[in-house]
Amino acid sequence: MAKKHNYSAGPCILPQEVFQQASEAVLNFNGLDLSLLEISHRSKDFVEVMEEARALVRELMELPENYDVLFLQGGASLGFLTAAYNYLPKNGKAAYIETGTWSTKAIKEAKHVGEVEVLASSKEENHTYIPTGYEVPGDAAYLHITSNNTIFGTQYHSFPKADNLICDMSSDIFSRKVNVEDFSMIYAGAQKNMGPAGTVVYIFDKERLGKTGNSIPAYLDLEVHLKKDSMFNTPPVFAVYVSMLTLRWLKGIGGVGAIEKINNAKAEMMYNAIDENPLFTGHARKDSRSAMNATFRLTDDSLAGEFDKMWKDAGINGLKGHRSVGGYRASMYNALPIESVKVLTEVMDEFARVKA
């Protein structure tokens, strides 16, 4: 089978060895002659999976003792509401920065819990940049940000300072080193750098929980899940298992610091190809560009049909941009090899040569 260069924005590319191990587990897990999909989630074999997945997050993110880890369901979309219930007190106010589609949805969900103040937004320029220059109000219970914006291709290169900083890190978690102690909570859907769709990881300072006075529905209460060791209800066993395998792979190649260097090299190659080619232009401002999602378009849209044929013929998949931006989006998550970026940039160079 010909190799595909998979630029899908999510669900996205994962390491080939992870696919192989996961497929074997579906047929016969741990030599039990049973599938991973049919064993009890309370069995010793799966409990060990859950505990290893949580331990790998702790190790790779270098978590202090007061931070804990949960693997839950609902994705980051449920995380929007979970964050507000657990950190926004009765009659309190939360501050948000609007940088794209997912932060807009987070704002909408938080309003179900309490007052929300949007401190800054890049909406008026179709989210081409990360806003700066705002002040976090002293009466804000927390500041919420989205670290990377998959649709618009922007990313925080440094994080704002806040007493309680909460971050949706769905599309760049484990892609670069961060100081976890700068955050009260990080949450992230698995389907970018960590695993398949179906689970979300929560990383949080457990000492900051239980202080809102809210009556929290059980499934949205992080303290409930913590007391049950991420097993309050039947967990998404396959998604957690594949996430564990992916985190093992990441540890095996040297961890977050090692993959960060690779990701920076991929991003540099991709953005050089955009900037040096007269047929293409980037969407995001250079000071806000994402290392995960490079968004760009043709300077002449009438050439789209010819360019599309060239990249598809080269075995490239998932390059079309989101309808909010148009053009193209090269999603360069952890498992995308730099060789795939080279194939795309060579197609772009060849297209310019042919059209010159």
pTM here?
0.96
Query: What confidence tier does 1 reach under pLDDT thresholds 50, 70, 90?
Result: very low
Structure tokens at 78: 């449920």
- Mean local confidence (pLDDT), 63-73: 98
- How far apart, in Å, are the Cα atoms of 347 and each of 146, 233, 351? 32, 48, 6
Give the separation between CA 118 and CA 83, rounded to whole angstroms.
16
Annotated active-site residue in 45, 105, 139, 168: 168
pLDDT digits (tens, 9 = 90+) for 216-240: 999 999 999 999 999 999 999 999 9
Average pLDDT of the chain is 97
Is residue 68 flagged as an active site residue? no
What pLDDT is attached to residue 90? 83
The residue that leads in pLDDT, 196 or 356, is: 196
72, 200 Cβ separation under 8 angstroms? yes
Domain with CATH 3.90.1150.10 in the chain: 255-355
What is the fold of 255-355?
Aspartate Aminotransferase, domain 1 (3.90.1150)
Domain with CATH 3.40.640.10 in the chain: 16-252
Return phi, psi of residue 321, to 5°.
-75, 165
The CATH code for residues 16-252 is 3.40.640.10
- Mean local confidence (pLDDT), 347-351: 98
Q: pLDDT over 90 for what percent of the chain?
A: 98
Annotated active-site residue in 68, 102, 172, 311: 102
26 pLDDT more than 80:
yes
152, 60 Cβ separation under 8 angstroms? no
What pLDDT is attached to residue 2? 58
pLDDT digits (tens, 9 = 90+) for 304-335: 999 999 999 999 999 999 999 999 999 999 99
356 pLDDT more than 90:
no
Give the separation between CA 154 and CA 96, rounded to whole angstroms.
16
User: Residue with structure tokens 């929560």?
Assistant: 202
Query: What confidence tier does 30 reach under pLDDT thresholds 50, 70, 90?
Result: very high
pLDDT digits (tens, 9 = 90+) for 260-306: 999 999 999 999 999 999 999 999 999 999 999 999 999 999 999 99
Please give the biggest Cα pair distance in the chain: 65
Beta bridge partners of 5: 316
CB burial class (10 A; 0-12, 13-18, 19+) of residue 21?
Answer: middle
Is residue 161 flagged as an active site residue? no
Give the separation between CA 140 and CA 92, rounded to whole angstroms.
7
Is residue 163 flagged as an active site residue? no
Annotated active-site residue in 4, 44, 108, 192: 192
3 pLDDT more than 80:
no
